[in-house]
Structure 1
């Protein structure tokens, strides 16, 4: 039966009209898996010696167990935002003689093959092998590793519940926030008591049965959860939902652009995929903390700060903007059949990105803490985003003809729905240009000269806004019917 399910999914993928695009994406994802998998193996191989050198008075296995709780919390977070849950078209299977249990077991089995399950394996397997070569007890190490893998799979099944149940999600999120807040204010550090539990798994190997039973229990809970709604009438019945209208009359001040802007706001607030992307763009605001807290970037490589400054205010532009016009793919044919100028459509997208950059800049005000030079760098990056990156993004949209399903439940980061490899090429100038524009004046003149050059580039883009929009409009007009045809294809 498993072989039959695999055959059906392969035929669906191979026979689809988007096979070549999907294949290119799979190849890119495979290369990414090889890269991050190699990093995980390296980390696992050197972790013992690094801990031994850094903390010579503490056994490396004890140190790992003490901080294992933070790895678990990190896994929960990264899985929730990035792990793609398995999807299978079950409606045709409901009316043929295949047991529900077989389909559900297959769906849950697919979650085991997720790359996120192999990250822990690739880290802790080399670490365990090093422990064995260092003379640690074989039974203790093997059963400790077994327990860690059971915990890893438990996180996998827990993530399935978190994604399917808001109650579970809010419960886990509240627990994580409480742990972080208590640790931050030095009220309670969960490291030591939880470390005792994980060290117990190593010192008393028979306790490995506990994580194993937890894993089996979570699998059973997931199985029952899916089976409860596994009915044909439940899958096709219409749900009645009360609709709350949003008053957007204040946007009428934008004149002819108001209908487009209102449509975008409604699309974002009413659909799953754009809402996820907008939420994720908020986290770009914290990107500067990776750079502005490191003296090596400030003292020796300040030109890298231009890249960070652009990211801080460009989250919406880089995540939401790069998928213009794919956001409108489900009704693009109707939109293009109306008697409306293409220029107004593009200009509304430009204003939407400009407002998002401005809001991000206001929210970045706390970066003044790192000094006025840093804050002025962020301001220059915001001007660059408004005056140049917005136009580069719109230009890239003319080459993006991959449709998007607005209400898909896929993750904002890992979902390749709407992804086009061309976007990677278009993203390069958006990321490299601010570094280059800042570096040349900075290297030959001064830091302030680099700031002025970066800000001036953005200001010139705003001055020549009409010129850029006219050129981009001509490109969209030439590819209009190709875009309509591409968006009409259904996966």
Structure 2
């Protein structure tokens, strides 16, 4: 029966209209996977040396054991945010002589067989040879690999349970982040060391011949938690009631009505974002990417790299606009025909999308103001980047959105989901990020970075001052492309 389920899943995938399309996107994704695979392998071999430099008084294996619990918690958070839930057309099988337990087991086993889960082994196996074997021997290295596999199973199953039980709600995300932040604060202020606890726990598991069985038991417990959830929530109407209740919580944005037709359209867009998996996942991703600057600003390596610092500034100050802008029209594909038959003039529709992206850019800029503590140069970069985002990039996105005729399925998660993505999504990144980076890089060679900053700021200010005229160009382009968009959005991949 399980082989039949997987055969059906495979046939559904290869028979989908969009399976053999998007060749360029698939090639890009494949090359990216190979790139990260090579990086993981090299990192696994080099990790003992990196850990020895970071903590010279500790054995690299002990140092890694100390951070492994943090890695597990962060991986669980990542899966909770982005891991799509395994689904099946339940009603089609409920009328057939198929046991309920087999359907549930299939739903739980399917994500465990996803090859993407085991990319971590490209790091774990080399590190077990170079880092674990010298400290724990061959048996310890073998147990370490098994423990990593079972931790992947535990995280996959437990994240699915948390997501099914609590959903991707703001409350759940906030609670999870507060727990992680609380653990980090306890470590930082020397109140309680999770690092020391992690050393003891994973040291015991690797040394003990039955340590891997303990982790396997935790994976089995996560599996049983999911089984218990499905025992109470097997029928679709249980989920329908939850969906209706969630929608009721986000159905009113009456404060937007005072802005007339444009306010009503923005209100609809806000409801769309908060009611669908894919848009909510993008929203959570935007919040996490606000911390992207912490990877660069504290490091001395990037202090002299002006082009990279400008890239980071544009990215973090416009992350909301960047993530949502590339699909600002596509996400309405399922009801675009209906939208075009309403009493909504093109000018109001384009302006509503403009103000929505502008609001996201302003919010991103405000939330990144703590980066100003890293110095005056960061303050100047962020201010110039905001002007460039609000005056140039926002118009590039609105104009470019009229060329993407692929309908976006909002009911699906965004993690590892390339549905609705085309080569146009990558081309549009050139004026957004590459142009300002190139400009800064060229002028920096002649110690004239300030001239490049002035040029970018002037371009941004010009776009803000002449926003109406630029929107008129986008309106005319939208009218030329409207029927092509309608036709494209009717096609399901």
Both structures adopt the same fold (TM-score exceeding 0.5)? yes
Q: Deviations over 1:175-228 (max 9, x none)?
A: 423212212323222111221111112222233321122222222222332343
Change (3 A) 1:380 1:188: same
Change (3 A) 1:213 1:458: same
Q: Give the Cα separation in 1 of the matches to 2:253 and 2:241.
A: 30
* Corresponding residue of 1:248: 254
Q: Give the Cα separation in 2 of the matches to 1:52 and 1:372.
A: 35
For residues 93-104 of structure 1, the aligned pairs below 5 Å read: 93-104=93-104
Contact 1:310–1:385 (8 Å) recurs in 2: yes
Q: Give the Cα separation in 2 of the matches to 1:269 and 1:132.
A: 45
Residue 131 of structure 1, CA deviation: 5.5
* Corresponding residue of 1:485: 487
Change (3 A) 1:123 1:446: same
Residue 116 of structure 1, CA deviation: 4.9
* Corresponding residue of 1:450: 452
* Corresponding residue of 1:410: 413
* Corresponding residue of 1:33: 33
Change (3 A) 1:224 1:250: closer
* Corresponding residue of 1:110: 110
* Corresponding residue of 1:262: 267
* Corresponding residue of 2:74: 74
| Residue number among 175, 178, 183 corresponding to 2:187 in the alignment | 183
* Corresponding residue of 1:317: 321
Aligned residues between the structures: 487
Q: Give the Cα separation in 2 of the matches to 1:179 and 1:265.
A: 33
Which 10-residue stretch deviates more, 269-278 or 379-388? 269-278
Change (3 A) 1:86 1:25: farther
Q: Give the Cα separation in 2 of the matches to 1:161 and 1:84.
A: 12
| Residue number among 211, 216, 223 corresponding to 1:212 in the alignment | 216
Residue 161 of structure 1, CA deviation: 1.1
Does the alignment pair 1:61 with 2:65?
A: no
Residue 400 of structure 1, CA deviation: 1.5
Contact 1:21–1:420 (8 Å) recurs in 2: no
For residues 145-224 of structure 1, the aligned pairs below 5 Å read: 145-166=145-166, 173-224=177-228
Q: Give the Cα separation in 2 of the matches to 1:143 and 1:199.
A: 11
* Corresponding residue of 1:92: 92
Contact 1:357–1:386 (8 Å) recurs in 2: yes
Contact 1:84–1:410 (8 Å) recurs in 2: yes
Normalising by structure 2, what TM-score?
0.89
Q: Give the Cα separation in 1 of the matches to 2:289 and 2:211.
A: 42
Normalising by structure 1, what TM-score?
0.90
Q: Give the Cα separation in 2 of the matches to 1:89 and 1:381.
A: 46
Q: Deviations over 1:105-151 (max 9, x none)?
A: 22222111234531332222122233687585333332333233222
CA RMSD, Structure 1 to Structure 2 (Å): 2.8
Q: Give the Cα separation in 2 of the matches to 1:368 and 1:122.
A: 38
Q: Give the Cα separation in 2 of the matches to 1:129 and 1:442.
A: 44
Q: Give the Cα separation in 1 of the matches to 2:375 and 2:5.
A: 59
Residue 387 of structure 1, CA deviation: 1.0
